Amino acid sequence: MVSASREVTRGWLQALINTSLREGSFPQPLKEAVVRPLLKKPSVDPADLNNFHPVSNLPFVGKVVERVVALQLRRSLDEADYLDPFQSGFRPGYSTETALVALTDDLWRARDRGCSSVLVLLDLSAAFDTIDHGILLRRLREVGVGGTVLRW
């Protein structure tokens, strides 16, 4: 159905994205998610609420707009050479596998030179949920993101 209506929806979707970026605002209805409980495993007791985790379903159009913005922001960060070359998260062509290959190589090289290595692993999977937005906005300004893009 989406594929069949592509020609019809392309114009208004493009207008929505352009208006959102030009004005530096994101329509409130596109931010509102429907949160549903999902059973963690079929084998667990559904009477126990601890066996559920929340799943947020955002509007499709909002996801499209966010994806366009994320793509543009990623391009800007890449062009400014801001990201560490070994940054693996959220980057196309990089994965946990490439990060592990680089890490293993570093550890072997250090060992070959007779050096000791210490490895500290941190789980930052929920880090964005607790980030200080003031610090995030300041860092974005420092790398040249500003104006309506920053307001967005």
Q: Which of 70, 95, 58, 92 is nearest to 17 (CA)?
A: 70
Q: Please write the tens of the pLDDT for every residue from 21-33.
A: 888 888 888 889 9
Q: How far is CA 53 from CA 9, 10, 37, 115, 120, in A?
A: 34, 35, 6, 45, 29
Would 108 be classed as within a structural domain? no
Domain ranges, residue 140: 1-82+122-151
The string of DSSP codes covering 112-132 is HTT----------TTGGGG--
Would 87 be classed as within a structural domain? no
pLDDT of residue 111: 96
Would 89 be classed as within a structural domain? no
Would 130 be classed as within a structural domain? yes
Q: Which of 3, 6, 25, 24 is nearest to 14 (CA)?
A: 6
Would 18 be classed as within a structural domain? yes
Would 107 be classed as within a structural domain? no
Q: Which of 61, 56, 55, 2 is nearest to 30 (CA)?
A: 61
State the average pLDDT over residues 79-93. 79
Q: Please write the tens of the pLDDT for every residue from 111-129.
A: 999 999 999 988 877 777 7
Determine which of 54-58, 81-85, 106-110, 134-138 has the lowest per-residue pLDDT on average: 81-85
Would 91 be classed as within a structural domain? no
pLDDT of residue 72: 83
Number of domains in the chain: 1
The answer to whether the beta carbons of residues 19 and 145 sit under 8 Å apart is no
Would 96 be classed as within a structural domain? no
State the average pLDDT over residues 3-31. 82
